Amino acid sequence: MGGQRAYTEDEVAMMAAELARGKQGPRNQAAFLFGVMTGCRASEICTVRMGDVLEMDGSFRAEVTIWRRHTKRRKTRVVLLCAELVGVLKNYLGGEVVHRDEYLFARSTGKPISRHTLYKLHRRAAMKLRLRGRVGGTHSMRKTFGEGVHDHLMGLSASGVKVDPLLGTKEAMGHSDVRSTEAYLQADSEQVTAAIGSVGRRFWGAKLANRDELEN
C-alpha cells in the first residue's frame, strides 16, 4: 500500500485520458478503470481472461471470479461488473472475435501485462499530470474503489438504511480482516485539515457571529 492515496473524481478522468494515449492506450485505460471500478489488485487484474468476463454467447457477465491461486489471501472471491465498466470493456474490445482463454489485458505477445508494467504506466501518467501527493501507484486504484464504496454506504446509513459501511466495504474489497479495510480508509492530511476547520466553525464560529450581532 505504501501510503498511496485515492484519486479524486477529476483525477480518475485525467488519468484515464492520459493512459488512453498511444498504441496500447485502449488496453491501458481499460485496465486502469477495471481496477478503479472493481477494487482488484494489480496482480489480480493481470490474470483476468476473456472467458472470465464473457459468456459463451459473447455477452458480458455480471461478475468475475478471481480464483484463489491469483489472490493475495489464497481465497477465491467474486467481483461485480457495473454497467459503466461493461461499457468500457465493450469499447475496448470493439466487437472483435476473441478466444476465451486469451488474457483480457495482454501484451503484443499474448502474454498478460504485468503488475510492474501497470505501476510504471500509472506513475508516468501521474507525474506527467503533476498530481499532488502519493498517488499513481497501482494501490491508488484500489483505494479509490474502497473510498467510493465506503462513501456510498455511509450515505445510505445516514439516510436511515441499516447497513454497516465498514463491514460492507470489507466485503467489497475482499479483506479477511476489518483492520485492513480501516487502513485503506485513513483520511489524508487535507481531509483532516478540512475536518478540523468544520469543527471550529460548528462549535465556535456560530458563537462569534451571534456575539457580533448582539454587539451591533
**C-alpha distances in angstroms, 71 versus 74, 109, 138, 150?**
5, 24, 15, 22
Q: Which residues contact 1 (CB under 8 A, 6 or more apart)?
A: 139, 143, 183, 184
Task: Give the domain ranges of the chain.
Answer: 9-143, 190-216
Q: Note whether 31 and 105 are within 8 A (CB).
A: yes
* Residue 196 grid coordinates: 478540523
Global pTM reads 0.80
Residue-wise pLDDT tens for the chain (216 aa)? 457 888 999 999 999 999 999 999 999 999 999 999 998 889 999 999 999 999 998 899 998 887 665 555 556 778 888 999 999 999 999 877 678 899 999 999 999 999 999 999 999 999 999 998 888 888 899 889 888 888 888 888 888 888 888 888 888 877 777 877 877 776 555 555 565 666 666 666 555 555 555 455
pLDDT digits (tens, 9 = 90+) for 48-89: 999 999 999 889 999 888 766 555 555 677 888 899 999 999
Residue 170 to residue 122: CA distance in whole angstroms = 25
Residue 29 to residue 26: CA distance in whole angstroms = 5
SS3 string, 147-172, reads HHHHHHHHHHHHCCCCCCHHHHHHHH
Fold of 9-143: hpI Integrase; Chain A (1.10.443)
